[in-house]
C-alpha cells in the first residue's frame, strides 16, 4: 500500500518539477489567472491548479518581413522589405498584451513603412535609408511597449523600383559617369598644357639667362682685354718717360704708329696735323743725316757727281 502511494506521488510530483533554462521565462497561471513569472532555475508548480501559460525567450530575435508594395509621393510603386530586431523585456505583457504579438509587429511595420515612404519622393526614398530606419524604430518601439517588446532597430533590406525606373536610373548613372570621365580628361589635358607651358617658360627663361650671362662674360673679357692693353701702353709710356727719351724718339714712335695704321687693304687714314709735321721733320732729319734714305745711289749718279764741269774748269 505504501509503495502504491509512493508511486502515485511520484507520478504526480515529478512532472510538476520544472527547470527554466537561461534567457527564458515561464508565465504561470493559477486557476486561469496570472500568478507569477519563473526565471531561469528549478521550480515546482502545484498539480492540477497551476499551469505554464507562456514560455518566453529573452534573446534578441529577427523578424524578416516579406517585400511589400509601397507608393512614393511621386506615385512610383516599389517593393520594399524590412528586417526588425527586437527582444521581449516583459514576459507578462508579452503573454497578455496581444493575441499574436509577432504578427501584430509585422503588420504595424508594414503600415508604418507605407506612411513614411508615402511622404518621400523616389530619390528621397533611395537616399534616405537611415532616416526611414530611425523613424520606423522610434514608432515601432513606442507602439510595442504595451506588448512587452523592445524594438532595437529596423533596417530596409531591399528597395526594388519598377523595371522602367531601373532602366532610366542606369542610363542616368551611365551619363553621369561619362560626364565625369569627360571632365577628368579635360582636366588632365588642361594640367598637361599648363605643365608644358610652364616648361617652355622655364626653358626660355633659362636660355635668356644663359645668353645674358654669356654676353656679360664676353663684355667682361673684352673690358679686361682693353684694360690690359691700355695698361700695357701706359706702362710702356711710363717706361719711356722714366728712360728720359727726347722728342725725336717720340716723333719716331708716332711715325711707326702711323705706318702700322696704314698697313691694310682699303684703309683710309685721316692724317692729323702733328703727324704731317712729324713726317716733314723726319724727311728733313733723313736728308740731313742720310739715315732715312734706304735707296743706294746709282752708278750714273756717282759718275755725274764725280765728273767735272769743263766750262767752270
C-alpha cell at 157: 533590406
The span from the CA of 110 to the CA of 87, in Å, is: 19
Task: Specify the pLDDT at position 27.
Answer: 93
Q: What single-letter DSSP state applies at residue 121?
A: -
Long-range contacts made by residues 278-282, C-beta under 8 angstroms, separation at least 24?
278/251, 278/254, 279/255, 281/251, 282/251, 282/252, 282/255
Q: Does the domain formed by 61-161 have CATH 3.40.50.300?
A: no
Beta bridge partners of 88: 149
Task: Specify the pLDDT at position 25.
Answer: 92
Task: Specify the pLDDT at position 289.
Answer: 46
Contact (CB, 8 A) for 161 and 169: yes
The span from the CA of 106 to the CA of 97, in Å, is: 15
The span from the CA of 167 to the CA of 246, in Å, is: 116
Task: Specify the pLDDT at position 280.
Answer: 54
| Residue 235 backbone phi and psi in degrees, to 5 | -65, -40
Task: Specify the pLDDT at position 46.
Answer: 87
43 backbone φψ class: left, alpha, beta (φ>0; ψ -120 to 50): beta
Q: Which residues contact 242 (CB under 8 A, 6 or more apart)?
A: none
Task: Specify the pLDDT at position 172.
Answer: 81
Taking each helix axis from N to C end, the angle separating 247-261 and 163-243, rounded to the nearest 10 degrees, works out to 140
Task: Specify the pLDDT at position 308.
Answer: 47
CA distances (Å), 239 to each of 168, 229, 234, 242, 283, in order?
105, 15, 8, 5, 27
The whole-angstrom distance between residue 230's C-alpha and the CA centroid of its chain comes to 64
Residue identified by cell 507608393 is 71
Residues in the chain: 313
Task: Specify the pLDDT at position 301.
Answer: 44
Task: Specify the pLDDT at position 164.
Answer: 82
Contact (CB, 8 A) for 89 and 149: yes
Task: Specify the pLDDT at position 94.
Answer: 92
Of 101, 62, 102, 60, which Cα lies nearest the Cα of 82?
A: 62
Residue identified by cell 598637361 is 192
DSSP, residue by residue, 62-87: EEEPPPEEEE-TTS-EEEEEEEEEEE
The span from the CA of 114 to the CA of 250, in Å, is: 124
pTM of the model: 0.55
Residues of the chain with pLDDT under 50: 283-286, 288-313
C-alpha cell at 251: 716723333
Per domain, the residue ranges of the chain are: 2-57, 61-161, 165-238, 245-262+269-290
C-alpha cell at 141: 518601439
Amino acid at each position: 500500500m505504501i509503495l502504491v502511494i509512493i508511486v502515485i506521488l511520484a507520478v504526480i510530483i515529478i512532472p510538476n518539477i520544472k527547470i527554466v533554462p537561461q534567457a527564458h521565462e515561464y508565465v504561470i497561471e493559477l486557476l486561469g489567472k496570472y500568478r507569477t513569472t519563473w526565471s531561469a532555475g528549478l521550480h515546482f508548480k502545484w498539480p492540477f491548479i497551476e499551469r505554464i501559460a507562456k514560455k518566453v525567450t529573452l534573446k534578441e530575435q529577427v523578424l524578416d518581413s516579406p517585400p511589400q508594395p509601397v507608393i512614393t509621393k511621386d506615385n512610383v510603386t516599389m517593393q520594399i522589405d524590412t528586417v526588425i530586431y527586437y527582444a521581449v523585456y516583459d514576459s507578462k505583457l508579452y503573454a497578455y498584451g496581444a493575441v499574436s504579438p509577432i504578427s501584430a509587429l509585422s503588420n504595424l511595420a508594414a503600415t508604418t513603412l507605407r506612411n513614411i515612404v508615402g511622404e518621400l519622393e523616389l530619390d528621397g526614398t533611395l537616399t534616405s535609408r537611415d532616416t526611414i530606419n530611425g523613424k520606423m524604430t522610434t514608432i515601432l518601439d513606442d507602439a510595442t511597449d504595451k506588448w512587452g517588446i523592445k524594438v532595437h532597430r529596423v533596417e530596409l533590406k531591399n528597395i526594388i523600383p519598377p523595371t522602367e525606373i531601373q532602366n532610366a536610373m542606369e542610363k542616368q548613372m551611365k551619363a553621369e559617369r561619362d560626364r565625369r570621365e569627360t571632365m577628368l580628361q579635360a582636366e588632365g589635358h588642361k594640367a598637361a598644357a599648363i605643365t608644358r607651358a610652364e616648361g617652355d617658360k622655364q626653358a626660355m627663361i633659362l636660355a635668356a639667362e644663359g645668353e645674358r650671362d654669356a654676353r656679360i662674360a664676353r663684355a667682361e673679357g673684352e673690358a679686361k682685354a682693353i684694360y690690359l692693353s691700355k695698361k700695357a701702353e701706359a706702362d710702356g709710356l711710363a717706361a719711356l718717360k722714366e728712360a728720359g727719351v727726347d722728342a725725336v724718339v717720340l716723333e719716331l714712335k708716332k711715325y711707326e704708329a702711323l705706318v702700322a695704321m696704314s698697313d691694310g687693304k682699303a684703309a683710309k687714314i685721316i692724317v692729323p696735323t702733328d703727324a704731317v709735321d712729324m713726317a716733314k721733320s723726319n724727311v728733313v732729319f733723313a736728308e740731313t743725316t742720310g739715315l732715312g734714305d734706304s735707296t743706294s745711289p746709282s752708278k750714273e749718279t756717282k759718275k755725274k757727281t764725280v765728273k767735272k764741269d769743263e766750262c767752270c774748269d
